[in-house]
Structure 1
């Protein structure tokens, strides 16, 4: 089941994509009083998924033609910073160390977590502001993002998937010069427009546990990243369980699971983004996030 946020007749709304992908049913057409994804997840979320899925099977009225809507990011304004995993693929960890001229830590024991501030998530089809007045090394990172569906605290690895609403695609856009200059990642990852997300959330029951999915990025049609979530260093189960120890992951929390090798800084010379470039980030069984650099 695909949950999405969209614009129709000048009004922002949230709902479910029909099985055949030709129409969108707002949550209100199922008798649910929500017109935004944050409210749906916070107040209802996982407890209504089975009901929604069953109702969708026979749903024929109350829909809006997909051709008449504009897709927005599934959660346009996350309630909290996005939690990100750094260097969660071995090959990306190696290319990152080369670029920064650091010693590669072969036996890193613990996950690297950082946060990404999101003013408003960028939808597929929209432009990414490159902030080229302060950025000279704009980069892309295709990632699988996990959306938590109910408050999670002290969750065991065995129970993690019962807390996951679903998955979406994220491009962890990064300003490498800011990231390197400040010796941490928050500023260089958090400029306005640096969180493209979408095209929708695909609910967790559509996937194996854990999901092993191809992750790919393309720039102007050239494949740059091509890997699989089966190569995560820190698994979804481990990350969610560990983060929930002593810290409550509120419903609606987004955890972006890290990017594979092939980012711009990994090439010699680097292949950073420039105005007019078209970046596509694709995760198997979810979809493609396509944006143009402004």
Structure 2
């Protein structure tokens, strides 16, 4: 299934894509695409609904983040060897973890807002993993059974805030609009192998990133297992799993986003998102 949240910010309605690629209104069946809707039991009920029996949503409406009321927004850094090398950082022995503020979450086509004082805002296409079953102390073999679905994430990063200000990476990762999620959530049954997906990011029509999740240092299963040793993961938690090479920081000289630029991130089978860069009003 492909699930989405359609409508104005703060007033999104849950939706499911029908066989013709049209969005059908799930508002009569559930209140949102959130942790409660992403449990195994809830997804099973949604799967039993014939989308053709649901009302069509009007075309052209805004698409919101594909998960609402996100509990934790967990991000893995330097998870592709060649990205770590372009960043001039050592290959990690364990998954590098940082958190992105939930207030950064936005829709996949919302504007990307340059924060005041930014001179080094960068792009990062990443595979997003959405938890659907509470898990703690799970092993790698059972980890993927806890996934509700997958989506596209752009882990937008302000590099000076991230590395030039004293503190953690979270500073450069959490600005408003720095967490576009979607366009839709593809349930795990449609993605038999999350380690075989092509990723790409274009900036102003030029391909800057290209890669495959098969080259991750730590697989999705390893990431979930590792995190579950540290904390309980709950339905609706989102994990961003790292980016392949080609970010602006790694270019010589570095290339960063400016007002008017257009960023397009896509992952095989999961759709594409598009942001226009604007100044903070």
With normalisation by structure 1, the TM-score equals: 0.88
2:82 paired with 1:91: yes
Distance 1:2 1:138 in 2: 31
Q: Residues 230-260 of structure 1, C-alpha deviation per residue, up to 9 Å, x if partnerless?
A: 0000111111011111410011110000001
Distance 1:253 1:282 in 2: 21
Q: Give matches, 1:39-50, under 5 Å.
A: 41-42=35-36, 45-50=39-44
Structure 2 residue matching 1:245: 3-state secondary structure: helix
- The equivalent of 1:17 in structure 2 is 17
Q: Give matches, 1:78-117, under 5 Å.
A: 78-80=70-72, 82-97=73-88, 104-106=89-91, 108-117=92-101
2:172 to 188, 192, 215: 188
Q: Quote the RMSD (CA, aligned, Å).
A: 1.8
Instruction: Report if the CA contact (8 A) 2:201-2:209 is conserved.
Output: yes
Structure 2 residue matching 1:129: 3-state secondary structure: strand
2:122 paired with 1:128: no
Unmatched 5+ stretches in structure 1: 98-103
4+ runs of 1 displaced by more than 6 Å?
none
- The equivalent of 2:272 in structure 1 is 288
Instruction: Report if the CA contact (8 A) 1:77-1:119 is conserved.
Output: no
Structure 2 residue matching 1:177: 3-state secondary structure: helix
2:150 to 167, 181, 199: 167
- The equivalent of 1:101 in structure 2 is none
- The equivalent of 1:202 in structure 2 is 186
- The equivalent of 1:226 in structure 2 is 210
Distance 1:66 1:167 in 2: 25
Query: Post-superposition shift, 1:37?
Result: 1.8
With normalisation by structure 2, the TM-score equals: 0.92
Distance 2:11 2:255 in 1: 39
Query: Post-superposition shift, 1:53?
Result: 2.2
Structure 1 residue matching 2:70: 3-state secondary structure: coil
Structure 2 residue matching 1:119: 3-state secondary structure: helix
Q: Give matches, 1:61-80, under 5 Å.
A: 61-65=53-57, 67-80=59-72
Q: Aligned pair in 2 of structure 1 residues 120, 84: CA closer, same or farther (>3 Å)?
A: closer
1:153 to 99, 114, 136: 136
- The equivalent of 2:5 in structure 1 is 5
Instruction: Report if the CA contact (8 A) 1:77-1:120 is conserved.
Output: no
- The equivalent of 1:100 in structure 2 is none
- The equivalent of 2:32 in structure 1 is 36
Unmatched 5+ stretches in structure 2: none
Q: Aligned pair in 2 of structure 1 residues 205, 27: CA closer, same or farther (>3 Å)?
A: farther
Instruction: Report if the CA contact (8 A) 1:165-1:203 is conserved.
Output: yes
Distance 2:194 2:23 in 1: 30
Instruction: Report if the CA contact (8 A) 1:179-1:188 is conserved.
Output: yes
